[in-house]
């Protein structure tokens, strides 16, 4: 598997040498056997139907290597048996293949949608991957309440209401919501907060809410504001502005200057939303614009998101596993994965024709429940907009390559300073967090040349270490981590073994970790402990402890030091967050949670009747039976739990 990480040299020759080295390393690590791979594929091909579907290539451990779709499964999968016709990347994949999993579908379009879902779920090493850890934010006008709430929403769209997006960032959606509150005076508070109000909150005072919670506006008036907001977000912003202008003029003519001033402020908010657009999207309706740029073995794809003729931001994507894949195929794969999460608009503008473009249109139309058109504009405003996206893609790629070049230098200097045999591909950093030994949590973060790998972070609930024993806690965490690694990946060819372990601590932590790994028979994983120097208050005086007892320091202005400090600070942040979450759960827990058969409703009934869990424990069976909502059976179960000998 020849990857092109962020640390790849920006010149083509350097990139080529890097890819060849990576390919050589992968071939050595996986010990490919083409004959065994071809035979495994042929065994499955004999039973395959000539129907559309999705296939998954599996290695010897059952891990997914590749996900593909086919119009006719039998014909498509049989092609992998013609090894000489395959590119080297797919030859390596076939060599590692030991099994296949097949899912048939009703159509090739349905197979394309399922393929995108499975790629997102399994993230196979031989598929082009859209690397994007964060989901896109939306604006949600939530239904199910007499006075709908406007709010930012991220994640699965399970709540009932109208969704508007995607927005490129949380910042852009926050700015838009603030302006929409000024424009339409819709509430943003939770339902529980809304129900408890007996006087207007600050948002009403600063003219960002109409205060329906205390009847400063009736339901008919609020419904009219909601309709205007839906029209504005749905592309009818001009009609909404014209209506507000008419109302403002009428109020001024009637000498109702207070109402006229309020309408003027609303009009300014509408103008702000439209005037903050970075691109001219007028007349485009709902559309996304994508353009691709490539350089130095890397690819950037710039996306503009336009809804209702308004630009809702832009984002650059840097897909991985693109070596040896045609650019138009990369763009097609990225679009399929992108729209697996985001509802497709009616129009998608791209800068080049795609393979199977009609099929992608059909699949997106199936997902959206309406027609979706993918086109390459040749002239006019749409072409100019596409050229702007292309320039943005090229600039984003130049910035990334510049950062990658700097990162590559840091990575080489880090390797030299820490005396590693080769540049690490995976660094694991460990830390613990607790208060006097209570609610102790261990944390592991993972970093590579491309940055932090947040989907591989892990938390460990400390179980056996004694209270306040930092060394014992670190020993337990490392023993559990590497015992599991030995069990799940004994040959170390799955990519889950670290090339470097960093420990937040000093000599004591280093000794504990070294002993823990020696007990497991592991002596070849490089270990480094990073501790603050003798003057803890002085930044940059970190001391690096080696397993043999040596200590080294870096200059205070060293980029390598800054990088290692960031890794140490990140694991510290993650550990503290895990500890605080565990502590919060413990604070909100109740002794009643331990009673079998007592759910939230009955626990609430008992606490409302008796006041505290202690009084529930001390109550007689007769008192428990008199509690509202508590049956005789439940009362007996509670009494027996606290009085097992009765």
SS3 category, 535: coil
Query: For residue 30, what pLDDT band results from cuts at 50, 70 and 90?
Result: very low
Position with higher pLDDT, 171 vs 511: 511
Query: Which pLDDT belongs to residue 29?
Result: 36
Cα separation, 221 vs 247, in Å, equals 14
Q: What is the domain extent for residue 627?
A: 591-642
The encoded tokens of residue 544 equal: 């690096």
Cα separation, 107 vs 367, in Å, equals 13
| Tens-place pLDDT, residues 520-565 | 899 889 999 998 766 544 555 789 999 988 999 988 888 899 889 9
The encoded tokens of residue 237 equal: 């912003």
Cα separation, 41 vs 76, in Å, equals 11
Q: Are residues 171 and 202 in the same domain?
A: yes
CATH number of the domain bearing residue 57: 3.40.1440.10
Query: For residue 590, what pLDDT band results from cuts at 50, 70 and 90?
Result: low
Q: Is 132 a domain residue? A: no
Q: Are residues 108 and 151 in the same domain?
A: no
DSSP 296: T
Q: Is 280 a domain residue? A: no
SS3 category, 581: helix
Residue 178 and residue 150 in contact, taking contact as beta carbons nearer than 8 Å:
no
Query: For residue 589, what pLDDT band results from cuts at 50, 70 and 90?
Result: low
Q: Is 17 a domain residue? A: no
Q: Is 13 a domain residue? A: no
Other Cβ atoms less than 10 A from the Cβ of 448: the count is 17
Sheet holding 347-350, edge to edge: 310-317, 298-307, 287-295, 347-350, 373-375
Percent of the residues in the chain that have a pLDDT greater than 90, as a whole number: 31
Contacts 24+ apart (CB under 8 A), 257-263: 262/207
Cα separation, 311 vs 305, in Å, equals 6
Q: Are residues 520 and 633 in the same domain?
A: no
Residue 640, pLDDT > 90, answer: no
Domain count for the chain: 5
Least Cα distance to 572 among 531, 517, 526 occurs for: 531
The encoded tokens of residue 557 equal: 């202005």
Q: Is 547 a domain residue? A: yes
Cα separation, 216 vs 197, in Å, equals 12
Q: Are residues 524 and 601 in the same domain?
A: no
Residue 504, pLDDT > 60, answer: yes
Position with higher pLDDT, 366 vs 609: 366
Query: Which pLDDT belongs to residue 93?
Result: 92
Mean pLDDT calculated for residue range 377-394 = 90
Q: Are residues 433 and 582 in the same domain?
A: yes
Residue 464, phi-psi category: left (phi > 0), alpha (psi -120 to 50), beta (remainder): alpha
Other Cβ atoms less than 10 A from the Cβ of 547: the count is 17
SS3 category, 123: coil
Q: Are residues 451 and 575 in the same domain?
A: yes
Distances from the Cα of 524 to the Cαs of 281, 412, 420, 498, 513, in angstroms? 57, 20, 11, 10, 13
SS3 category, 484: helix
Q: Are residues 314 and 387 in the same domain?
A: yes
Q: Are residues 365 and 474 in the same domain?
A: no
Residue 568 and residue 578 in contact, taking contact as beta carbons nearer than 8 Å:
no
Query: Which pLDDT belongs to residue 237?
Result: 63
Cα separation, 369 vs 115, in Å, equals 19
Q: Are residues 265 and 382 in the same domain?
A: no
Query: Which pLDDT belongs to residue 238?
Result: 65
The encoded tokens of residue 381 equal: 């405003």
Supply the Cα-derived Rg of the chain in whole angstroms.
30
Q: Are residues 206 and 320 in the same domain?
A: no
DSSP E strands, 224-297: 287-295
Distances from the Cα of 450 to the Cαs of 21, 260, 301, 323, 461, in angstroms? 17, 55, 17, 16, 29
Q: Are residues 503 and 570 in the same domain?
A: yes
Residue 458, pLDDT > 80, answer: yes
Q: Is 421 a domain residue? A: no
Q: Are residues 368 and 497 in the same domain?
A: no
Residue 282, pLDDT > 90, answer: no
| Tens-place pLDDT, residues 471-495 | 888 898 999 999 988 888 888 877 7
CATH number of the domain bearing residue 621: 1.10.150.20
- Please tell me which of 302-311, 333-342, 490-499 the model is most confident about, judged by mean pLDDT: 333-342
Q: Is 615 a domain residue? A: yes
Residue 71 and residue 359 in contact, taking contact as beta carbons nearer than 8 Å:
no
Chain-wide mean pLDDT for the chain?
82
Q: Is 38 a domain residue? A: yes
Query: For residue 15, what pLDDT band results from cuts at 50, 70 and 90?
Result: very low
């Amino acid at each position: 598997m020849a990857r092109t990480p962020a640390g790849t040299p920006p010149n083509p020759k350097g990139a080529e040498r890097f890819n060849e080295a990576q390919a050589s390393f992968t071939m050595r690590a996986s010990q490919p056997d083409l004959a065994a791979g071809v035979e495994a594929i042929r065994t499955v091909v004999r039973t395959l139907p000539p129907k559309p579907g999705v296939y998954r290539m599996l290695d010897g451990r059952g891990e997914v290597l590749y996900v593909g779709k086919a119009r006719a499964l039998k014909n498509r999968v049989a092609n992998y048996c013609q090894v000489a016709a395959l590119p080297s990347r797919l030859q390596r994949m076939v060599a590692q293949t030991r099994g296949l999993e097949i899912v048939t579908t009703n159509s090739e379009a349905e197979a394309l949608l399922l393929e995108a879902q499975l790629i997102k779920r399994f993230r196979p090493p031989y598929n082009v991957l859209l690397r994007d850890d964060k989901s896109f934010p939306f604006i949600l006008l939530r239904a199910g309440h007499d006075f709908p709430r406007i709010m930012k929403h991220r994640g699965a769209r399970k709540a009932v209401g109208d969704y508007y997006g995607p927005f490129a960032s949380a910042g852009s959606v926050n700015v838009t919501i603030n302006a929409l509150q000024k424009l339409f005076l819709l509430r943003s508070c939770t339902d529980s907060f809304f129900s408890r109000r007996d006087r207007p909150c600050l948002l009403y005072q600063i003219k960002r809410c109409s205060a329906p919670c205390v009847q400063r506006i009736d339901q008919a008036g609020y419904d009219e504001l909601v309709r205007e907001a839906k029209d504005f977000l749905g592309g009818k912003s001009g009609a909404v502005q014209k209506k507000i202008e008419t109302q403002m003029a009428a109020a001024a003519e009637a000498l109702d200057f207070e109402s006229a001033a309020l309408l003027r402020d609303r009009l300014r908010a509408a103008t702000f939303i439209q005037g903050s657009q970075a691109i001219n999207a007028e007349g485009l309706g709902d559309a996304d614009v994508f353009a691709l740029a490539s350089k130095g073995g890397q690819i950037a794809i710039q996306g503009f998101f336009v809804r209702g003729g308004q630009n809702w931001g832009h984002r650059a994507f840097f897909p991985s596993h693109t070596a040896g894949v045609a650019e138009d195929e990369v763009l097609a794969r990225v679009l399929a994965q992108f729209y697996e999460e985001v509802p497709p608009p009616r129009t998608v503008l791209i800068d080049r024709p795609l393979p199977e473009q009609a099929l992608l249109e059909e699949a997106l139309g199936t997902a959206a429940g309406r027609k979706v058109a993918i086109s390459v504009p040749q002239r006019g405003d749409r072409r100019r907009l596409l050229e702007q996206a292309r320039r943005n893609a090229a600039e984003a790629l130049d910035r990334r390559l510049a950062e990658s070049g700097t990162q590559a230098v840091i990575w080489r200097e880090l390797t030299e300073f820490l005396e590693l045999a080769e540049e690490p591909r995976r660094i694991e950093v460990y830390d613990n967090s607790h208060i006097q030994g209570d609610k102790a949590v261990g944390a592991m973060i993972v970093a590579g040349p491309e940055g932090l790998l947040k989907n591989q972070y892990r938390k460990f609930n400390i179980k056996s270490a004694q209270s306040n024993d930092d060394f014992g806690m670190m020993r337990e965490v490392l023993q559990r981590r590497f015992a599991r690694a030995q069990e799940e990946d004994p040959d170390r060819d799955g990519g889950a073994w670290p090339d470097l372990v960093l420990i937040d601590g000093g000599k004591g932590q280093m000794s504990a970790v070294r002993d823990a790994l020696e007990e497991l028979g592991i002596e070849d994983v490089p270990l480094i402990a990073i501790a603050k120097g003798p003057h803890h208050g002085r930044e940059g005086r970190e001391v690096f402890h080696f397993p043999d007892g040596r200590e080294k320091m870096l200059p205070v202005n060293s980029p390598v030091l800054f990088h290692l400090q960031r890794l140490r600070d990140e694991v510290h942040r993650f550990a503290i967050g895990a500890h605080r979450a565990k502590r919060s759960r413990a604070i909100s827990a109740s002794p009643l949670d331990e009673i079998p058969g007592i759910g939230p409703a009955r626990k609430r009934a008992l606490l409302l009747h008796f006041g505290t869990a202690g009084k529930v424990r001390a109550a007689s069976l007769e008192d428990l039976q008199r509690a509202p909502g508590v049956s005789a059976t439940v009362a007996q179960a509670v009494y027996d739990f606290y009085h097992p000998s009765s």
